[in-house]
Structure 1
Amino acid sequence: MKKILIVLISLFIVSSCTKDFDTMNVDPNNPTAVGPQYLLPYAIEASVDRYWGSNIRFERLNLDGAMLWMQYLTRNIYSNEGDNYGISVAFYNNNWKGFYNDGLVNFQRIVTLSQAGGKYQNANYEGIGLVMRTWVYSILTDVYGAVPYSEAIKGTAEAPVYTPSYDAMDKVYAGMLADLKTANEKLSTSGPAVSGDILYGGDILKWKKFANSLRLRLANRQAAKKPAESKAIMAEILGDATKYPIFTSNADNATLKHTATRPSNNEWNEVMVFGSRTDWNISKTLADKLNGLNDARITVYAQPNKEGKYVGHANGLPDAIATTYLATSSMLGSYFMQTTTPSVLMTYAELNLTLAEAAVDGDITGDAQAYFEKGMTASFDQYGLKITDAYLKNIGQASKEKIMEQKWIALFGQGIEAWTEYRRTGLPVLPPKDPRAIFENDGVLPTRIKYPTSEYSLNEANVRKGVTTNGGDDTMKTKLWWAEK
């Protein structure tokens, strides 16, 4: 199962002939290679769980970082664990380690084993490995900035690299976009079957759709910095739906569907139900916005308080003040605390809102309003809700500001993506800080997180070059490459 250490026992039938001594002299309990079908479920689960939240205190990148910074949630106790922009060393050390060691190392093994000439040659496994490797790299570079990329995960290569250089974000993006195009070419619905696929159950067409939809996300994200290249990529994908299929409904969403039993349950369920943690409430920012729009998604995102209302409290409040809201602030919606609630990587709603933004910006020729309304409709539908004509009329015509606000609402749960979009565009406009709030980081909403201390111990020269490449100090106030403002 996912999360459980995979132990592969290879059984060999040997004869008593001494000429087969070399074959006999292999320890069956220590295989020299593990097949992609065993690596894939572990790597997907480990990476997605860490992205969605992790159940380890002081390491919850999404739950105690981006979900608070983007004012979806707020803390009612321990405000120094993310809500006031304060984070522990483990936060930036162990997320780096987890994404590289549990995710990238294994996805790279899948690519290596499955490519032409590999031990388990299978182009569909290779394509899946490229997609997931790219997805993890996109998280790392969007969170830290410059990262080891071209020389990374080569510690066991024929010519091992133990101190990899740091690639600038534009170089990482170029590599990721190229890999996603290659993945689309490798993936074939008429190709060999795959097993161990806990994301799409072996549906290769959906993997192709994810590859191309993710490529659109990344192309749009860099569009302000590389307009010509980004426009060309988006035109290529949108101009040939057969060759470059993309999400066409919520059925295509990239989501990890959890099981009803531990340890394969949803990470927020693990923290809040099995861990009995009730440290989070809905942020006043989110509650006020959705109430003001008469937006039915508040009924899924939050639970009504004792008065039957959806109310939040401000972020960054000291514990002595925050705890006074326990009786009045809404808790997180029960949907998000179930064992089987899916962890989301990318949705049809996000894709359409991304295309709406690209159309408004003039990067594609599509109908911005049509994409905008499709995105909102898909977001409601994702939770079994029906959008009304009155809601659409109230929202009105698509604009950059409205699109990014709706994307923020639709990305609830995916705090890291919302945080990235906010740092890129400065949208949506967040309300002024509560005067009672006390923030670290000089009151600046984090723009990145620091490099791990292990890099300064083991790869100091290169990490310092990475800091320089980012154009600022190794702090949570340095803006990253794709920032438009």
Structure 2
Amino acid sequence: MKMKHKIILFLLLVAIGGVSCKKYLNINSNPLSSLTVEPKLLFGYAITAWDANKNSGDAWIPIGLFSQTLASGGDYGWGKDNVYNISSFALGNTWKVYYSTAGNNLKLAIKNAESASPVDNNTAAQCKIILAQIMYEATTLYGDVPYTQAFDPDKFPYPQYDSQKSVLEAVIALLDEANAQINVANALKLTDYDVFYAGDLNKWKKLANSIKFKTLMVMVDKDPSKAAAIGQLLANPSSMISAANESQLRPYYSTTNNENPKYRLFNRYTNGENQWFFANSNVFDYMFPNATVSDPRIPRYFDKGTNASYKAIGSEVTADETVSLISAYLYRKDAPSVIFSYQELLLLKAEAYARGLGVSQNLATAQGLYKEGVIQSCLFYGASSTDANNFANTTLPSLTTASDPLRQIHLQQWVDLMDRPMEAFVQWRRSGPEGSEVPALTLPIGATSGALIRRYTLSLDEVAANPNIPNPQPRYFDKMWFDL
């Protein structure tokens, strides 16, 4: 695929994402204006723009390539380009989603819900939970970002940047505020615009605590005092997601304009077939492909090559027809978008017990959570219960006897997040000090000589418009606060 076609792909992202659900459109043509709009419409527009960006050319493709969960196939597939030269459209469009089409609309929805008569506290709380997740993504992708002065252009036309630690603290505070604001006995909610939980406010409360737990796990290595809050949540497991049906999923359907953004991307450019992305050995090799009982996610993640077997390659190595493509199953029309999953939480809890974060170190408890997390991941991706349990019981190493149990947990976190590269990128960076991350990645062929990539750089539009950007500007290899 030629580079000019890739640039067109990024330019057309809004067109691809913006049609995913027509009832969400045309509700705030000027996102910097405080229009009186129903909160549910603002919420619907925000989550549509956010998810379309996260699952297409602006975030999923570049982050998947440079974080090395996807292989480009070299000249045979996406193209052997400099994977560290991120498109200005990807940088700018993603920033605009966080601060305009999604972030600002959520802030306006919160304002309108809290000023309504009667006050709609539940809708405000739901919007705060999504805003917290969005700001978590913004800071883990860009580093220091505006928050305190963001979303108020009349008062702060050039918002100051907050430190990453401050933003993550604000995320936790916003989640606590939302959880306290929810009244499960009150019927006021987002009704049919709540595509995640259909108005089940108990699930929203559990989601808020689960995102808080994830945020604390990102912070704890740099701020050990967060271990106490981790322990408090572990002591009350029912306060967080406690079953697979409580995962936060954005559903998609087989009807036109309601398909998964990845499907629509391939449908537009490659007649609905994945011709660009291949099995990356940095994922495949950790799925026990040569074991007597291999990972049952392999046939859900990858399609066999022409030699009727599974084969992976390095990040920018040129592929041929024998190399496994990323599975069509993952790009089907009705594939849900995963925002936070049960298996993700189980593996984080396993890590906390293995490390003794806020609790006594307990490898036996960690083992149970680790095994169940892998089983739930296999089930989520379509493996049978028999295959999932057989793999977990016969092939997974035991944490109680493994020489490095934490590494085994991190590897399964990485494998589970293969098709969620934004989350995989955070997981990799926090998995160990620089040079000791799990897995051990090397510089892809064709990448800029030097260090591995560790962030998005700032949008060119933001650099041109805001005199309060950090000085010096962050470089792609600069570590963030949470990144040891």
TM normalised by structure 2 equals 0.84
Contact 1:50 1:99 (8 Å CA) reproduced: no
Are 1:162 and 2:157 matched, yes or no? yes
Shift of 1:205: 1.3
Shift of 1:417: 0.7
What secondary structure is seen at the aligned counterpart in 2 of 1:345? strand
- Aligned residue for 2:459? 452
What secondary structure is seen at the aligned counterpart in 2 of 1:147? coil
Contact 1:3 1:46 (8 Å CA) reproduced: no
- Measured against aligned partners, the alpha-carbon deviations of 1:400-424 in whole angstroms (never above 9, x if no partner) come to 1000000001112111111111112
Shift of 1:286: 2.3
- Aligned residue for 1:283? 280
Q: Which consecutive residues of structure 2, in runs of 5 or more, have no partner in the other structure?
A: 1-18, 400-404
- Aligned residue for 1:257? 251
Q: 1:49 aligns with which of 25, 49, 52?
A: 52
Shift of 1:381: 1.5
Contact 1:141 1:172 (8 Å CA) reproduced: yes
Contact 2:58 2:89 (8 Å CA) reproduced: no
- Aligned residue for 1:397? 398
Shift of 1:90: 1.5
Q: Tell me: CA distance 1:334–1:64, structure 2 relative to 1, closer, same or farther (3 Å).
A: same
Contact 1:188 1:205 (8 Å CA) reproduced: no
For residues 55 and 478 of structure 2, what CA distance do their matches in structure 1 show?
Answer: 24
Q: Tell me: CA distance 1:187–1:265, structure 2 relative to 1, closer, same or farther (3 Å).
A: same
The residue type paired with residue 200 of structure 1 is Y
After the TM superposition, which residues 340-419 of structure 1 pair with which residues of structure 2 at under 5 Å, given as runs?
340-365=334-359, 367-385=365-383, 386=385, 387-389=388-390, 391-398=392-399, 399-419=405-425
- Aligned residue for 1:13? none
Contact 1:64 1:81 (8 Å CA) reproduced: no
Are 1:36 and 2:39 matched, yes or no? yes
- Aligned residue for 1:474? 474
Contact 1:288 1:311 (8 Å CA) reproduced: no
For residues 99 and 79 of structure 1, what CA distance do their matches in structure 2 show?
Answer: 29
Contact 1:69 1:85 (8 Å CA) reproduced: no
- Measured against aligned partners, the alpha-carbon deviations of 1:286-322 in whole angstroms (never above 9, x if no partner) come to 23332145111011001111222111222123xxxx2
For residues 290 and 45 of structure 2, what CA distance do their matches in structure 1 show?
Answer: 42
Q: 2:213 aligns with which of 216, 221, 226?
A: 216
- Aligned residue for 1:439? 447
What secondary structure is seen at the aligned counterpart in 2 of 1:368? helix
Shift of 1:86: 2.4
Contact 2:58 2:91 (8 Å CA) reproduced: no
- Aligned residue for 1:302? 302
Q: Tell me: CA distance 1:212–1:81, structure 2 relative to 1, closer, same or farther (3 Å).
A: farther
For residues 341 and 108 of structure 1, what CA distance do their matches in structure 2 show?
Answer: 29
What secondary structure is seen at the aligned counterpart in 2 of 1:463? coil
Shift of 1:225: 1.2
- Aligned residue for 1:272? 266
What secondary structure is seen at the aligned counterpart in 2 of 1:86? coil
The residue type paired with residue 39 of structure 2 is P
- Measured against aligned partners, the alpha-carbon deviations of 1:94-122 in whole angstroms (never above 9, x if no partner) come to 2111221111011111111112x446621
Q: Tell me: CA distance 1:93–1:81, structure 2 relative to 1, closer, same or farther (3 Å).
A: farther
After the TM superposition, which residues 173-252 of structure 1 pair with which residues of structure 2 at under 5 Å, given as runs?
173-194=168-189, 195=191, 196-228=193-225, 230-241=226-237, 245-252=239-246
- Aligned residue for 1:311? 311
- Measured against aligned partners, the alpha-carbon deviations of 1:163-202 in whole angstroms (never above 9, x if no partner) come to 0000000000111011111111112321233221112211
Shift of 1:249: 1.4
- Aligned residue for 1:127? 125
- Aligned residue for 2:439? 429
- Aligned residue for 1:26? none
Larger deviation, residues 403-412 vs 304-313: 304-313
For residues 257 and 390 of structure 1, what CA distance do their matches in structure 2 show?
Answer: 28
- Aligned residue for 2:98? 99
Runs of 4+ in structure 1 over 6 Å off? none
The residue type paired with residue 183 of structure 2 is S
The residue type paired with residue 114 of structure 1 is A
What secondary structure is seen at the aligned counterpart in 1 of 2:395? helix
Are 1:464 and 2:463 matched, yes or no? no
Contact 2:304 2:310 (8 Å CA) reproduced: yes
Contact 1:2 1:42 (8 Å CA) reproduced: no
For residues 69 and 130 of structure 2, what CA distance do their matches in structure 1 show?
Answer: 28
Shift of 1:146: 0.2
The residue type paired with residue 112 of structure 1 is K
For residues 140 and 456 of structure 1, what CA distance do their matches in structure 2 show?
Answer: 16
Greater CA radius of gyration, 1 or 2? 1
- Aligned residue for 1:148? 146
Shift of 1:444: 2.8
Q: How many residues align?
A: 435
Q: Which consecutive residues of structure 1, in runs of 5 or more, have no partner in the other structure?
A: 10-29, 54-58, 468-472
Contact 2:69 2:418 (8 Å CA) reproduced: no
What secondary structure is seen at the aligned counterpart in 2 of 1:395? coil
Larger deviation, residues 69-78 vs 260-269: 69-78
Larger deviation, residues 189-198 vs 400-409: 189-198
The residue type paired with residue 480 of structure 2 is L
Shift of 1:234: 1.8
Shift of 1:357: 1.1
For residues 328 and 417 of structure 1, what CA distance do their matches in structure 2 show?
Answer: 29
- Aligned residue for 1:14? none
For residues 444 and 109 of structure 1, what CA distance do their matches in structure 2 show?
Answer: 40
Contact 2:78 2:275 (8 Å CA) reproduced: no
Contact 1:273 1:337 (8 Å CA) reproduced: no
Contact 1:254 1:346 (8 Å CA) reproduced: yes
For residues 397 and 297 of structure 2, what CA distance do their matches in structure 1 show?
Answer: 18
After superposition, the CA RMSD in angstroms is: 2.3
Contact 1:379 1:410 (8 Å CA) reproduced: yes
Identity %: 21
Shift of 1:79: 3.4
For residues 66 and 304 of structure 2, what CA distance do their matches in structure 1 show?
Answer: 20
What secondary structure is seen at the aligned counterpart in 2 of 1:50? helix
Contact 2:311 2:322 (8 Å CA) reproduced: yes
Shift of 1:430: 2.9
Larger deviation, residues 347-356 vs 258-267: 258-267
Shift of 1:3: 4.7
Q: Tell me: CA distance 1:225–1:146, structure 2 relative to 1, closer, same or farther (3 Å).
A: same
- Measured against aligned partners, the alpha-carbon deviations of 1:258-277 in whole angstroms (never above 9, x if no partner) come to 12223221111011233216
For residues 88 and 125 of structure 2, what CA distance do their matches in structure 1 show?
Answer: 35
